[in-house]
Amino acid sequence: MSGETEVLALLDGEHAALTLYTPLDALFAEYRKLRADIEQIASYVAGASDVMCYFLTGAQKERSIGNYTATTLFAAGPAIRSLDAAFWSRAMKLTDVLDLMPAEARNEWSRQIRAHETPPFEPDSVRATLQTMIANRAQFFADRVEGLFFNLSDHHATNSPEGFYKRMIISRMRTYFGSFCHERCNFVHDLRCVIAKFFGRGEPPAIITTRVLETIHQAGEFGVWHELDGGAIRVRLYKIGTCHLEVHPDIAYRLNMVLAWRNPAAIPARFRKVPAKEKVDRPLHHGLIPFDIISGIGEGLFSPDGRRVFFPSPVSVRVAEFMRRHGGRQDESSWQFDYDFGTALHEAERTGRIPEVAST
């Protein structure tokens, strides 16, 4: 990286950090008020336990509410931990760091928030944590590649030192109850995020990857290859809960270079070179739709036939131009199409392209 590039990268990180302060200050003020309310209510109830017991026994009798005491139900500690978790979640959403995190770190943050195990929501701690995460954004890129590679199932011989050239197998994509495992889906999403950077498509929202894989799962399309992102990836789900994943050779060598940067001994040099064209067995499409356009259209509400989409607020110029190019006609707060644009959008979420038959 040149000196100029490094400076620009640092300035970009500093700008991202500075933009946090105004919304964070508002968040801290709201937190302080709610925490004071919690402590006030807890203090009042603790001093009126002789009366509160009648509220609780009455609710238990007439509304089938569980057996609680005023002391346990209105204890300040659990309520404050719930408040801490809720505000940590809101603070993380002020930046894109949660989306940029590798899957393991993102899953752990989500677990802590659900379990109310986050640190106390204190200004110094919150600012320091978010600034550290922003500073590590570039590192997250390599972490994502490494995280996917080392989270492949170690029960399959096809997971080899050839890295991303070989078929990869992610286990436990289905839960014990047969439902889809969203946390394991995050590893596939990480791969899509890395590939999106290679294509210059921006950061895909996690919901898009989840929706793509969940659609395959719900349709029962097991044992069938599905191409993602212009053929850069193809996935095949199985009923036993595994996901077979193959990366296009033109992408695999780049991923191997990133992996070798973090783990020099992991990938032999011959697997970090551009593949010979005659060995590539399937096309890799370029000129894919940027993810900000896909997610922008996805915010709309589609009619049952997919031919009309309603937006609660005006769309961006880029989104409007895209829909116009693909046959859309604006009518106040909605857009009308002569074909099922909703189905075409779902196809774009998976492949990055609008089907030619649909848009012609």
Q: Give dist(CA 186, CA 51) in Å, integer.
A: 49
The DSSP element (H or E) to which 111 belongs, if any, is helix 103-115
* Average pLDDT, rounded, for the chain: 81
Q: Is the pLDDT of residue 158 over 80?
A: no
Q: How far apart are the first and last CA of the chain?
A: 44
Q: Give dist(CA 128, CA 147) in Å, integer.
A: 24
69-123 pLDDT per residue, tens: 667 777 888 889 999 999 999 998 887 777 777 777 888 888 999 999 999 999 9
Contact status, residue 280 vs residue 249, Cβ threshold 8 Å: yes
* Residue carrying the six token digits 């993602």: 228
User: What is the domain partition of the chain in residue ranges?
Assistant: 3-97+128-135, 141-279, 291-359
297 pLDDT tier (thresholds 50, 70, 90): very high
Contact status, residue 139 vs residue 96, Cβ threshold 8 Å: no
Q: In the prediction, which pLDDT does 200 show? A: 87
Q: What is the 3-state secondary structure (H, E, C) of 181-199?
A: CHHHHHHHHHHHHHHHHHH
216-266 pLDDT per residue, tens: 988 999 999 999 999 999 999 998 888 999 999 888 888 888 777 776 766
Q: Record the pTM.
A: 0.64
133 CB neighbour count, 10 Å cutoff: 22
The overall longest dimension of the chain from CA atoms, in Å, is 83
Mention every residue, 6+ apart, whose C-beta is less than 8 A from residue 329.
Answer: 335, 336, 337
